[in-house]
């Protein structure tokens, strides 16, 4: 699970102090201290050494974290080209929470080579910790029905001859996934932006929906019911599978109530 961290020291430092620290850490504080005895060329070479050392530290940290996660199970050797891509992308990951996440990817790839594509790694490299937290929240709300694609269930639409159009939808923001977060996931290419609807549900062919550890079976009492959802992209599916946050209890309760209002609902835990 990706966690948000913020040290107490960071909270109390003013912006000028923080900027000076950042400049010194990156070897860019030469003009902040008045005249420097080193030339711009010398300072450039120092900065390159600092950056190279930071990249080395990042990779060694990720390797150490991955080693701590590895168990005694039989593994496999990752594809060397995949590993080269991983190293070139991971060397610039400085945030501790994201380093932990990249370490878990490497651990899983060793356990099961081919689990995470280069395309998914490239997308992940563009993501900030905030983006990863949004994906984690979305994946916790994800479910499966019809096939193996992960879906973000939104509600249902029912169109009948006599009842007209009836619709009920859940609000993802209630479960810590605000609309602005959805827009960011669209922008990153992790969710398809178009709201989709399932085929019509029938009593002759009940719907099976897997949500968290629950397998739900819905037999609608009326015709014309279709489920509404956003579908995760291929890369979104890959990265969401690496997330470990559990489905919120209030979301499960609301989904169960909504589906039960449509007909007979059976459920089994441990799906």
Cβ contacts of 240 within 8 Å, gap of 6 or more: 135, 138, 139, 142, 150, 190, 232
The predicted-structure confidence for 49-103, as pLDDT tens digits, reads as follows: 999 999 999 999 999 999 998 877 767 788 999 999 999 999 999 999 899 999 9
Write down the pTM of the prediction: 0.80
Measure the CA–CA gap between 120 and 233, rounded to whole angstroms.
11
Query: CA-CA-CA-CA torsion for 232, 236, 241, 245, nearest 10 degrees?
Result: -80
| Residue 191 DSSP symbol | B
The predicted-structure confidence for 99-155, as pLDDT tens digits, reads as follows: 999 999 999 898 888 888 999 999 999 999 999 999 999 999 999 997 889 999 999
Whole-angstrom Cα Rg for the chain: 24
């Amino acid at each position: 699970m990706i966690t948000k961290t913020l040290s107490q020291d960071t909270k109390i430092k003013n912006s000028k102090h923080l900027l000076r620290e950042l400049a010194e850490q990156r070897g860019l504080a030469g003009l902040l201290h008045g005249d420097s005895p080193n030339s711009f060329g010398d300072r450039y070479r120092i900065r390159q050494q600092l950056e190279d050392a930071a990249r080395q530290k990042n990779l060694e940290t990720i390797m150490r974290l991955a080693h701590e996660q590895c168990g005694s199970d039989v593994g496999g050797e990752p594809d060397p080209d995949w590993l080269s891509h991983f190293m070139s992308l991971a060397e610039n990951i400085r945030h501790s929470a994201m380093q932990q996440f990249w370490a878990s990817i490497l651990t899983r790839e060793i356990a099961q080579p081919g689990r995470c594509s280069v395309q998914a790694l490239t997308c992940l490299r563009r993501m900030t910790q905030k983006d990863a937290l949004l994906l984690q929240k979305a994946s916790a709300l994800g479910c499966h029905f019809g096939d193996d694609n992960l879906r973000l269930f939104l509600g249902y639409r029912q169109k009948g001859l006599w009842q007209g159009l009836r619709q009920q939808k859940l609000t993802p923001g209630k479960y810590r996934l605000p609309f602005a977060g959805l827009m960011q996931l669209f922008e990153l290419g992790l969710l398809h932006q178009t709201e989709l609807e399932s085929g019509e549900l029938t009593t002759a062919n009940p719907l099976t929906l897997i949500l968290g550890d629950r397998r739900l079976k819905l037999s609608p009492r009326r015709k014309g019911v279709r489920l509404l959802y956003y579908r995760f992209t291929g890369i979104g599916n890959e990265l969401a599978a690496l997330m470990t946050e559990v489905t919120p209890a209030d979301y499960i309760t609301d989904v169960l109530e909504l589906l039960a209002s449509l007909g007979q609902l059976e459920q089994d835990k441990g799906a």
